[in-house]
Amino acid sequence: MGSGKRSLTTAAMVLACACAVLSAPGVAHASPTPAPTRTPTPTPTTSPAGKDLEAIREKLDALYHDAAVATDAYNAAEEKTKQQSAEIVDLARVIVKSQDKLDELKDRAGAAARAQYRGGGLPPEMRLWLSDNPQQYLDGAGRVLQGEHATKGLLAEMTRTQQDLEQYAKDASAQWQKLETNRQAKATAQKEIKKQIAAAKKLESQLEKKEKERLAKLEEEAAYKAQTAWLSSGVLAEISGKASEQGKKAVKFATDQIGKPYEWGAEGPGSYDCSGLTSQAWAAAGHGIPRTSQEQWKQLPHVDVKDMRPGDLIIYFDDASHVAMYIGDGAIVHAPRPGRTVTIAGAGSMPILGIVRPDA
């Protein structure tokens, strides 16, 4: 990351540790140094109208978490759909080639059969006795024998090609069934995403302006508290890894997207979901990785937190439903959730499942 952007990141971290009021609601900025012992003054969680804002905050977190899980399912189904569509296209090409080959073999077999018919139906010894030139006949008989062997080989190749063609057709049918299954899974996930986001927006729409401001403050404090606990463990003092060259490129790409909106299923360039941001950042660095946070957790090499370096991916929550990129100084860049933008936050502001390294 460039020195200018690094300075901005560090400044944001310091502000977070001072528990300053952030301009964007719900964004927790990490600190480059262990958090102070002072804790922020608790904000009353009950509004004059009697609404429990802390319960609302927890409910919103749950709704957006469920939307994130559904988004991962949607992205996984989308990736499988793309892959299976490509496989079906490849199979179609193979089927066309095999059918052309079978047609050619049938033509050759038909020509061989017609040539054999023109040779007559007399036994070979009778044709030898009637021949004016026995030697010429014998030479011709040898060629006929070779032709018969060639015909047998031709028929065997026809049989194999026919069997291959039938198998390709079965494979294509199976791929179509898988494709349809994944299309249905994608549609189901899409409905679930819209349902959870609609429920969250409805809940937020019931709040007055002052309640929304207090709710945003609660979100800040919850993230701050989690980040403080993480830093208080002394973990940041153990993290000293330096980014690889590819890692630097991935970090630059990700931080260049700051301010762009979150959109489920999006991979840029105008908007991103959490794994869309990380997968595209590493693609820009020349290293492809799985599309979803769950597959990133499953397939990429795991590293200890103390060995973490900029460019590594932090996977969050027990179900690996969120992912962010570590950028150093105890901070991450990520696409948080609907209604938010790509931003910098504290690496410990959410429950960490583990760390993965795309370029291990």
Active site residues per annotation: 274, 322, 334
258 within 8 A of 60, measured Cβ to Cβ: no
CA distance 328 to 168: 51
Rounded to whole angstroms, how far apart are CA atoms 19 and 220?
A: 9
DSSP state of 279: H
CA–CA dist 296, 290 (Å, integer): 5
**Within a 13 Å sphere around the CA of 109, how many CA atoms are in the beta-carbon half?**
14
Find where tokens 């950042």 sit.
281
Is the CA virtual torsion 107, 112, 115, 116 positive or negative? negative
Any idea which residue has 């301010």 for tokens? 259
User: φ and ψ at 172, to 5 degrees?
Assistant: -65, -40
- Looking at the DSSP assignment, which residues form a beta bridge with residue 267? 272
Instruction: Report the C-alpha gap between 225 and 152 in whole angstroms.
Output: 81
> For residue 275, which of 69, 3, 18 has the smallest C-alpha distance?
69
Alpha carbon distance 246, 244 (integer Å): 5
